[in-house]
Structure 1
Amino acid sequence: MPLRLDYLVLQTIWFAAMPVGAYALLHALLQRADAFTAIDRMTKVSWSLITAGAMAGLLLFYPGSAGFVFWMAALVASLVYIVDVRPKLNEVQRGNKW
């Protein structure tokens, strides 16, 4: 049975999502707790648990399976952290460079 294109695309996305989730979790764990309150977001514990749960969801579920909804929610949680929270954390810890 030849490999189908949709299978290859889903497999590639699944493998690409792993480092994204791992990076979000690692970044959340390595930041100062007061930086989260300074940017007026949830606490470090909250984001650490969210990204840890997201990483578990990325590992446990597969995009082509019945758990696709959970996998997608995990990917979205990781991407929200990377796109929204991480830049603000980096900015507040670096300071304002005018």
Structure 2
Amino acid sequence: MLRAGFDFTLWLLLDLVFLVTSVTALILAAVARDDAYRAADKQNKNFWLIILGIAVAVNLFVPMLFLSIAGLIASIVFFVDVRPALKQVSGGGRRGGGSSSDGPYGPYNGGR
């Protein structure tokens, strides 16, 4: 009923954004190591694969707005909470593996 009042193109675009977000989250959850979820003290990998897989299926096959929004929320939780924790545990926080005190020509040691 809510969809009838808005432009079809707007809903198509929103559905596409929801789908791309959930597929991206599913792929990132699938490629992360299983032990990283335990080390980051998050739900296990199978939990996130099931939740995000359901989100993808809902976005593809069930045209109900509140279910699509629930899938979007699950994807956002993965991106905002779980993925940064997985990257921190896996050591993928910085490119090149340097420390935070590295300058453009090597480590900064304060002139010592």
TM-score bracket, normalised by the shorter chain, equals 0.7 to 0.9
Q: Call closer, same or farther: CA 1:95–1:29 in 2, change over 3 Å.
A: closer
Residues 1:32 and 2:29 are matched in the alignment: no
What's 2:52 paired with? 51
Match of 1:75 among 72, 76, 86: 72
Higher Rg:
2
Q: Which amino acid aligns with 1:80?
A: V
CA contact (8 A) 1:51 1:78 kept: yes
* CA distance in 1: counterparts of 2:52 and 2:92, whole angstroms: 25
* CA distance in 2: counterparts of 1:18 and 1:80, whole angstroms: 15
What's 2:88 paired with? 91
What's 2:15 paired with? 14
Which TM-score applies when normalising by structure 1? Answer: 0.81
What is the aligned-residue identity percentage? 31
Task: Tell me how far 1:16 sits from its aligned partner.
Answer: 1.4
Deviant stretches of 4+, over 3 Å: 95-98
CA contact (8 A) 1:58 1:75 kept: no
**Structure 2 unaligned regions, length at least 5:** 94-98, 101-112
The structure carrying a bigger helix percent of its residues is 1
Superposition CA RMSD, Å: 1.9
How many residue pairs match? The answer is 91
Which TM-score applies when normalising by structure 2? Answer: 0.72
Q: Secondary structure at the match of 2:20?
A: helix
